[in-house]
Amino acid sequence: MNKRLALLLACVLLAATAGCNKHTVIKKETKLYNFDSYSEGNIRAKSQGKGLNGQLINEMKQIFRDKKIPLTHETYAEDGRGNISYIFYLKGNPRQYITFHVFSSKEERIARIRNWYGGEHRIDTPKSRTTIYSHSRASLIYTSSGKDKGIYEKQVHEVFNSLIDRMQ
């Protein structure tokens, strides 16, 4: 009888353990589908000082705040080669945004920016304007469109110059 009880207890424990693992897997998959894992990863990266240039990004946000231009809708992407790009709307406006690229080397920055934007410092079209500020391993790209294209160009340039001073 003890063997039967032990076997029954072992089966119950095995079933309970298997159920917990299945439940855990389902919870993880649900987090992936609703982007909770992405959000948790972002929070973890910021709190650990990873996500590459946390302090520099925080300083940039503060400088824009001081100019009464809050940065909103922050997103970022990494490319596995040591490069990262941060994108922000200016005052929540999707027609006014900046992209801050940080590259693994100056050579990488030069090649990538030339490939993405061409060799010009400013690209004007009838409906949009893109202005590129670069230094060392970083580029700050200001893109604007619509009737207010270029309205923050002076402020973005000032912010970039301030960031350069802090990087040196």
- Our CA angle for 63, 154, 104, nearest 5°, is 60
- Mean predicted confidence (pLDDT) in 54-72: 92
- pLDDT at 67 > cutoff 80: yes
CB-side exposure of 157: number of CA atoms within 13 Å?
Answer: 9
- Mean predicted confidence (pLDDT) in 11-29: 57
Are 54 and 62 in contact by the 8 Å Cβ rule? The answer is no
pLDDT band at 47 (very low <50, low <70, confident <90, very high): very low
- Mean predicted confidence (pLDDT) in 140-144: 96
- pLDDT at 11 > cutoff 90: no
pLDDT digits (tens, 9 = 90+) for 154-164: 999 999 999 88
- Mean predicted confidence (pLDDT) in 136-155: 94
- pLDDT at 17 > cutoff 80: no
Q: Does 102 or 4 have the greater pLDDT score?
A: 102
Q: What local confidence, expressed as pLDDT, does residue 48 receive?
A: 46
Distances (CA, A) of 109 to 85, 100, 139, 154: 11, 12, 8, 23
The CA-to-CA distance between both ends of the chain, in Å, stands at 78
